[in-house]
Amino acid sequence: MSPAREISKPRVRFAPSPTGRLHLGSARTALFNWLVARGSDGTMILRLEDTDKERSSPEFEHDILGSLHWMGIDWDEGPDVGGDHGPYRQSERMGMYGEYARQLLGQGKAYRCYCTSEELDARKKAAIADGRAWRYDRRCLELPENERGRLESEGVPYTVRFKVPAGTVTVEDMLRGDVNVDASEIDDFIIVRSDGSAGFHLAVVIDDMTMEVTHVIRGDDHLTNAVRHVLLFEALGARTPKFLHHSLLMGPDGSKLSKRHGSTSVSDYREKGYLHEALANYLALLSWSPGDDREIFLLPELVKEFSIAGVSASKAIFDFDKLNWLNRKHMRRLSASELTDLVVPFLEREGRDAQLALPREKLELAVESVRNGMEVLGDAVEPTDVFVRPAGELDDKARAELRKSAELDDALAMCAEVLGAGPSADMESAERMVAALREGAKGKGWGAKKVLWPFRLAVTGLTVGPDLVYLIIFWGPAGCAERIDATRATMEASGV
């Protein structure tokens, strides 16, 4: 296929190395590419740069693919779905790289370098000692033919270096404008290693060229690489894709986000109980703005609103508090049933068999009752313990608080009277009962707490818990009255 073929719709790629779990910064790059593809009816390509045999692993590949899918990011071409431009693993494309390297050698645009790493290191140290800037000195470019022939006949290992032409190299970046670099500042960089494998620069350019990538969207740490990539595209007679180098993801202290700032992988946040909608929403807002004050977006809304024009070159500071705020907002959009479905795996992980054994409608009610106190899904685990506590079981704090109440008997008697013997209650009737308790306290000249506080302590056996309305709905008025009686019996047995 011709790399210069006219392509009307964007073809973008995300090209991670399976040498670690998917980092939040990489996920943001993937998201930006995906939004461009989906928002323009373009093509999303997933390519695995797996040539680092020592560090690449199937485990990391599984994490990357799984994390992307969890975030809602899919692709049209890739190692698991195929496509017309494969293979999509660099380890399976080595033969292709060799062909293009030989083409560059044959055209005099590259040359063999027989310098060993030890020789290069010695010359570099000598240059630094003399106060000179070190760049490869092109010693092997002008080797006499007889010397070159001898080295070849003896099978001396060599690398292949790209011969950087004189002049100015321009990277046209959609975010940063034209970036101009004098070619004299660039080494004749290695495009084939001494073991015959393609170097990073050659592999990436050939992949983008043969996969007909039209837009390269990646972090600005690749801006210096882009200078070399432009040279290779031009040397190979290929159209240079459009570049956008967005800012890197930084920690709160302004340094690159790393493990010292906390969790950094997508799977970490999935395991902690963040919603994929919230994480994608937050990552999209880092260096991108819709042009108004909106902050809450679902993926379809991001696809509709996202544009390259809205991307900023400003620093992207990861704000954990902002992510938590967005996660709470997205959790509130879920129905009780949807939220419960997401909480169940966390109850299972923590061994909360008693909660899991509740009838489904009761479990949904328990989860709904603690929703407002949740920041992540796992926050529902401990607070829902209240709904499976045995009646009359008091923790030390609750017992001490009940002992302080001078009007305990009268307060609990009022609670039992207001609750009556009804078997069930809905939100409206439960709210009426709580209002009646407040009025009853007022009628005795008490503050509402003198009744509502003992009510909570007696029903739950704890000093903290869900709103009283949910307690009444969950256990029913009669059930709450029975739990109050059980608490009174416990207190009497302890001599109070």
Query: CB within 8 A of 68, min separation 6: which ones?
Result: 14, 22, 27, 30, 46, 74, 75, 266
Beta strands 43-46 and 110-113 are unpaired
Distance in angstroms between the alpha carbons of the first and the last residue of the chain: 89
Greatest pairwise CA separation for the chain in angstroms: 111
The label of the residue with tokens 């009307």 reads: 8
Rounded-to-integer distance, Cα 85 and Cα 83, Å: 6
Residue pair 245/40 in contact (Cβ under 8 Å)? The answer is no
**Residue 36: Cβ-neighbour burial (10 angstroms; 0-12, 13-18, 19+):** buried
Closest Cα to residue 203, out of 348, 377, 328, 17? 17
Q: Which of 341, 342, 265, 343 is nearest to 62 (CA)?
A: 265
- Of 53, 124, 259, 329, catalytic: 259
Please say if 259 is a catalytic residue.
yes
Nearest one of 29, 45, 133 to 86, comparing CA atoms: 45
Antiparallel, parallel or unpaired: β 110-113 and 159-162? antiparallel
Kindly state the tokens that stand for 6: 């006219």
Q: CA dihedral in degrees (484, 487, 488, 489; nearest 10)?
A: 120
Cβ of 154: how many Cβ atoms within 10 Å? 8
β 168-173/177-182 pair status: antiparallel
Please, is 30 exposed, middle or buried when counting C-beta atoms within 10 Å of its C-beta (0-12, 13-18, 19+)? buried
> Catalytic residue numbers?
259
